[in-house]
Amino acid sequence: MAEVRQALASATAALGDRLEAELLLVHALGKPRSWLIAHADDELDSSHAAAFDALVKRRADGEPVAYITGRRGFWSLDLEVTPATLIPRPETELLVELALDRLPATGATRVADLGTGSGAIALAIARESRAAHVMATDASAEALAVAQRNAAAQRIANVTFAQGDWLSPLHGQTFDVIVSNPPYIEADDPHLGQGDLRFEPMSALASGADGLDDIRRIVTDARTHLKPGGWLLMEHGWNQGAAVRALLEQSGYHDVFTAQDLEQRDRVTGARWR
């Protein structure tokens, strides 16, 4: 028998991460994380201790915590995630902020989120802007099912989901703001074989030799889907800002800008159409 305190201390030592140990323990116990505050001296019964050990072993073997627990926080949302979806990253909240800043103050605002995955970006925008209607697309039916469950669980009704590549399911529709966190890693980047990325869908991570194949396609195709003065905003890698700005300029967009994330790295580039 071990106390919660001891079990957490040894898992933290094994994983090198206290937060991960806590998330796995409360998942094994079926409790919220706040439960830990008042229960450090509780005894763990042997079945809970064994379940926790098994989760710690999976994490030590490399599996991302979000796939083990099936949950990940993003913006104000507690989201279901599965190996069919990318795990939402905190730096992607910048894309949500930039989109919200650009929504028209009045009228029937329409937003598209391309490659929505778990639905993180679409649902955060829809939650903050009740007057907006968000169309969320994904090529993966499995990912869309996760996103739809997240919308239902959060009772967010101003999002519609459509299956298909990027803008292809949005034929004939135009938007005030189009956002995307597409795959943008170079196909031969060794990071794809390391850490948590090994467990995530390759189709959500890598995009051709320079990582820009999908961004090129979105830049080209978004032009017929933007209202006059509408914005296209895309996340990209820290070293891709200049290349994405050049693509937008060459394609006839204006007001091109790049924004930095909290670590001062280029993270989102955007521009307006006409």
CA distances from 111 to 8, 98, 253 (A): 43, 13, 18
Which DSSP letter does residue 237 get? -
d(CA 82, CA 162) in angstroms, rounded, equals 19
Interaction pattern, residues 205-224, with ligand GLN; x per rule: CB under 6 A: x-------------------
Tell me how far, at minimum, the Cβ of 181 lies from ligand GLN, in Å.
5
Mutual angle of helices 46-60 and 4-15, in 10-degree steps? 10
Q: Residue 229 belongs to what H/E stretch?
A: strand 226-235
Q: Closer to ligand GLN at the Cβ: 235 or 266?
A: 235
Tell me how far, at minimum, the Cβ of 66 lies from ligand GLN, in Å.
13
**Interface residues for ligand GLN in 89-118 (CB under 6 A)?**
89
Q: Closer to ligand GLN at the Cβ: 118 or 181?
A: 181
Give residue 227's identity as a one-letter amino acid code: K
Q: Closer to ligand GLN at the Cβ: 138 or 235?
A: 235
Q: Is 240 in the site for ligand GLN (CB under 6 A)?
A: no
Tell me how far, at minimum, the Cβ of 248 lies from ligand GLN, in Å.
18
Tell me how far, at minimum, the Cβ of 200 lies from ligand GLN, in Å.
8
Tell me how far, at minimum, the Cβ of 47 lies from ligand GLN, in Å.
36
d(CA 50, CA 43) in angstroms, rounded, equals 13
Q: Closer to ligand GLN at the Cβ: 29 or 232?
A: 232
Q: Closer to ligand GLN at the Cβ: 80 or 235?
A: 235
Q: How many residues bind ligand GLN (CB under 6 A)?
A: 8
With a CB cutoff of 8 Å and minimum separation 6, the contacts of 190 are none
The burial class, CB within 10 Å (0-12 / 13-18 / 19+), for 183 is buried
Is the sign of the CA dihedral 273, 166, 91, 247 positive or negative? negative
**Interface residues for ligand GLN in 148-207 (CB under 6 A)?**
181, 183-185, 197, 205
**Interface residues for ligand GLN in 34-53 (CB under 6 A)?**
none
Q: Closer to ligand GLN at the Cβ: 140 or 181?
A: 181
With a CB cutoff of 8 Å and minimum separation 6, the contacts of 232 are 177, 178, 218, 219, 222, 226, 248, 253, 270, 271, 272, 273
Which positions lie near ligand GLN, rule CB under 6 A? Answer: 89, 181, 183-185, 197, 205, 235
